[in-house]
Structure 1
Amino acid sequence: MLKNMSGLYAANGINPGISVKFPSAFHFLPHLLDNPNSLKLAYLMSKNREGVSLVLGIPTVKREKYSYLMDTLQNLIDGLSSEEANDTIIVILIAETAMEYILQIAKEVEMKFPSQVESGLIEIIAPSSGYYPNFDKLRITLGDSSERVKWRSKQNLDYAFLMSYCQTKGTFYVQLEDDILAKPSYAAIMRKFAIEKTAKKDPWIVLDFCQLGFIGKLFKTAELPWLINFFQMFFNDKPVDWLLDYLITTKICNWEKNDNCKADKAKVWIHYKPSLFQHIGMHSSLKGKVQKLKDKQFGKVALFFPHNNPPAEVVSGIKHYKQYTLKRAYLGETFFWGLLPQPGDQLLFNLTPPVTLKRFYFRSGNAEHPTDKFYNTTVEVKPVQPIQNLNFSNVTQDGFIIVDSITLVPPVNTCDVSNDLTNEESGNGYIMVEYNLPGSQLQAPDKINEQNNDNDTLLPNSQDDVLLSELREKSRGECQGNSAAAARRYGVYSNRNTADRRLFLTIDRRLRETGTFQPQVGGNSGHPIMDATDEDILEIIEEVPGTSARVITKCSSRKFDSAGIASGSLNNSIGKISSLRLNVHSESDNWAILSEIHLQDDSRIR
């Protein structure tokens, strides 16, 4: 053939060894070339788990009002069986560049879900600051405001980054958000549905488990590169859910037969009903945007939990919203929804007649309004027996005993303990759903050794080392949000005048006097609590004279948002209770819910 070639250059052009260069992410995002670390992780918390069925991707950003991330994670984890948890990875993308904030969120996740982090169920990543372009130089598209263009463009890049990290982790990838509620067994349902569709060998692109936005969209990880590249190419042009629609339309539809496009897309974009996820966040990550959309396919979830409470007259110092009164909540007909709780507001339950209360349980917030909680609110009981005959130091001026609290602990460098009575502004609503007063295992203290007659050493009546061992475990487990309450709840007591006793009420006293507890790092007072040597973790060892038991509690010096629950038990030595109240100590510019109120007296074993 070469002999027949007439041109010299033509003959030399065969197999030149030169490859064609296809465009890459650097062509669509040229700013990545400005920083050699642009595609490197700035932060990684991982046990390198791989080969699972489901990878759940959750991007989270700093919100102006309230972060729903912990509520979302708790809900997702609660919906997994142990077997499902071993076959799932939850990857959290902290889509911020301020390392201080990244570490704050990572630490909070690790502290609240230590076993899930240790097992590899939860991973946390954060991008390099060089990953993002100069958002001030973006083109204004779709007639949107500059702020909205920045917000949706960054969201596209966040999704692309998260998908890129997750694509080698498992078989299926599910896109979630940080402000959602999942139905029980959601993972098992998604896994089964995806496997069934794959086994039929019918082509599908996305399995949709939520009708809203980009929530609950399941993809094969092998097909994520299609999405990643598409998001990178058009990140400045359209919102992420529009881009998904355009991609599928481009792949599936015949423009000459446009009438069939919707039906053709439905074959590969398969909707599962009823929906498995609901959007719960009211405040969008876009500043000023209020998101009220709900997935009607999700169905209803329990918003309150009724109980058969003892007869009582209820008095609310907080104005209720519409039909959501405190009386109806106490009767188990609905939840209580109060407007703008203020310091000094009280919810009072006058028991008629007085009863010997065994247990109590109060739950604030509910599934649709998880942020509407009571913060810095104490649970207090008033015995019929004169207060001077009881050995309690945590007594109010009008004769109520503080038995527990729903607490928002103050910020960094304070120990996570209860009874922080500072006027912290929550900025969130409050919902009371159920009234379940199961009693705070608050045990009336008796002297453990009558011969010693030591008024400073008080323990529950007739308790032995076995119970104290249980106490130690329970107290350790609950200390992360409510150390002092946990100690009281399980019966460890000390009078306030015990300067050298390593007991929680020492901290409790400090909180009442100063509004904060600050460990004195490297102090020399000789007090094991006040001279804490670790700014981050404070380990409190309670040595109980007269026994071999010790109560060990570790508290973190960080801000802790409680679960909005107060519960416990009361010992018979307190006697009959005439009144119980919730006493608010913090101002709020929003509402609050009580979704559960349960008071259990000795005649009502449920």
Structure 2
Amino acid sequence: MRTRHGNLLIALVAVVLFSFSCFCISRMTQTSNQLINCRNRILEFKEGILHLKNRTERNRQELIKALNKIKYEITQGENISVNSVKKKVNALDRNETTPNAFEVLKFFFPHLRKVGRIYPDVIIGKEKTGVSFALGISTVDRGNRSYLKQTLTSVVSRMTLSEEKDSVVIVSVSDSNEDYLKSVVDMITKKFKRQLKSGSLEVISIPAYFYPNMLHTKQSTEDSQQLESWRIKQVLDFCFLMLYAQPKAMYYLQLEDGIIAKKMYLTKITDFVHKITSKNWFYIEFSILGFIGKLFKSEDLTDFIRFFLMFYKDKPIDLLLGDLFQVKMCKPGETLEKCTERNKQIRIRYKPSLFQHVGIQSSFPGREQYFKDIYY
């Protein structure tokens, strides 16, 4: 009986052990399969990481190439050769569908009607627009005397950084002498790199085909003929510069290449303009001399330019400015004194003057000029 019970116990133990062994083998097999699956997933993950790494490296190489290309193009743009000034055509000149303010010139000068699209040669410029102030400086060769660097240093250095960002100074080389153009470009690229890079300073050149034949004057002497041609050309130089500057800014300030500016001059101009209650002002004089320091609203420049072009052969531009004021603002039969008194809110003079004339050698060959602004 005991033997029988012992055999049953042994059999039961054997069954339990067998069942447990089967269970263990099953779990081990399942675990092994899970480990294999896990290993396969790890391998797939490693392959994905490797692929991503290779892709990232390719992207990095492409990015490096793109950055190097950009650096090269910037370097090429900044390294302007004095020996070979490359004249860049403005985008407006290539786009025939874009309105061109210079088309008005064809109405006054028949010889321009045969020309395609009229536009200045943009020597250095980033086509900066949407600013508050455009400052125009026309320059010509004065022989051994040049005041342009002194003028630009004064005008640029006496702006704040925020004012510099909100303005553009345009130097218009109104001279057919290529050597003078190259000397101006060389001086500006060396002395005013930051302003050129930011687009706050531009250099343009007026194309020779713009000027009409000014040799047929009615004067009796050769000197008077030269003086008459010089005055005519000066009016046209200012008109061309105004046409270029008009779409760039809200206000246009006319300067010359032989002046100095007072400290914080642009801050004073801005504050003064904002304090004027009347929005119907004609122009503002920030210097009493000639055409220096005259501030215009850009939207009004078209009327000024057309008037100057109508009478460019008759008077210097500062006298034409006075004539235009009388034509537009004075009533028929009214004296100039009465008209001026009545329109003080339209023709405004700021004191003290913000600009002083410093050049002695005139742009007219052989002439010296010593006039000064007594209110500076």
Instruction: Give the TM-score taking structure 2 as reference length.
Output: 0.69
User: Corresponding residue for 1:205?
Assistant: 282
Whole-angstrom distance in 2 between the partners of 1:79 and 1:153: 32
Q: Does 1:267 align with 2:345?
A: yes
Of the three residues 326, 329, 332, the one matched with 1:249 is 326
User: Corresponding residue for 1:214?
Assistant: 291
Structure having the higher helix fraction is 2
Of the three residues 288, 293, 300, the one matched with 2:366 is 288
Whole-angstrom distance in 2 between the partners of 1:286 and 1:119: 34
Whole-angstrom distance in 1 between the partners of 2:123 and 2:210: 15
Of the three residues 226, 229, 249, the one matched with 1:147 is 226
User: SS of the residue aligned with 2:168?
Assistant: strand
Using the TM superposition, give the Cα deviation of residue 139 of structure 1 relative to its aligned residue in structure 2, in angstroms. Answer: 4.6
Unaligned runs of 5+ in 1: 1-22, 299-606
Q: How many residues align?
A: 272
User: Corresponding residue for 1:365?
Assistant: none
Whole-angstrom distance in 2 between the partners of 1:81 and 1:260: 40
Unaligned runs of 5+ in 2: 1-102
Distance change (3 Å), C-alpha of 1:29 and 1:222: same
Of the three residues 117, 120, 125, the one matched with 1:46 is 125
Structure having the higher strand fraction is 1
Whole-angstrom distance in 2 between the partners of 1:61 and 1:76: 18
Q: Does 1:169 align with 2:248?
A: yes
Distance change (3 Å), C-alpha of 1:118 and 1:24: closer
Whole-angstrom distance in 1 between the partners of 2:168 and 2:275: 21
CA contact under 8 A between 1:248 and 1:265: conserved in structure 2?
no
Q: Does 1:78 align with 2:173?
A: no
Moved more, 180-189 or 40-49: 40-49
Distance change (3 Å), C-alpha of 1:252 and 1:289: same
Alignment of 1:218-233 (within 5 A): 218-233=295-310
User: SS of the residue aligned with 2:333?
Assistant: helix
Across the aligned residues of Structure 1 and Structure 2, the Cα RMSD in angstroms comes to 2.0
Q: Percent identity?
A: 36
Using the TM superposition, give the Cα deviation of residue 43 of structure 1 relative to its aligned residue in structure 2, in angstroms. Answer: 3.4
Using the TM superposition, give the Cα deviation of residue 146 of structure 1 relative to its aligned residue in structure 2, in angstroms. Answer: 0.9
Q: Does 1:88 align with 2:167?
A: yes
CA contact under 8 A between 2:283 and 2:295: conserved in structure 1?
yes
CA contact under 8 A between 1:167 and 1:222: conserved in structure 2?
yes
Deviations 1:573-603 (A, max 9, x none): xxxxxxxxxxxxxxxxxxxxxxxxxxxxxxx
CA contact under 8 A between 2:236 and 2:312: conserved in structure 1?
yes
Of the three residues 113, 131, 141, the one matched with 1:33 is 113
Whole-angstrom distance in 2 between the partners of 1:32 and 1:266: 39
Alignment of 1:140-539 (within 5 A): 140=219, 145-197=224-276, 200-258=277-335, 259-298=337-376
CA contact under 8 A between 2:128 and 2:248: conserved in structure 1?
yes
Deviations 1:515-547 (A, max 9, x none): xxxxxxxxxxxxxxxxxxxxxxxxxxxxxxxxx
Of the three residues 137, 143, 161, the one matched with 1:64 is 143
Whole-angstrom distance in 2 between the partners of 1:140 and 1:227: 27
Amino acid at match of 1:276: L
Whole-angstrom distance in 1 between the partners of 2:151 and 2:353: 16
CA contact under 8 A between 2:278 and 2:345: conserved in structure 1?
no
Amino acid at match of 2:168: I
User: Corresponding residue for 1:99?
Assistant: 178
Q: Work out which of the two has the higher radius of gyration on C-alpha atoms and give 1 or 2.
A: 2
Deviations 1:164-205 (A, max 9, x none): 0000111110000000011000011111111222xx234211
Using the TM superposition, give the Cα deviation of residue 133 of structure 1 relative to its aligned residue in structure 2, in angstroms. Answer: 1.1
Instruction: Give the TM-score taking structure 1 as reference length.
Output: 0.43
Whole-angstrom distance in 2 between the partners of 1:173 and 1:144: 34
Whole-angstrom distance in 2 between the partners of 1:245 and 1:265: 13
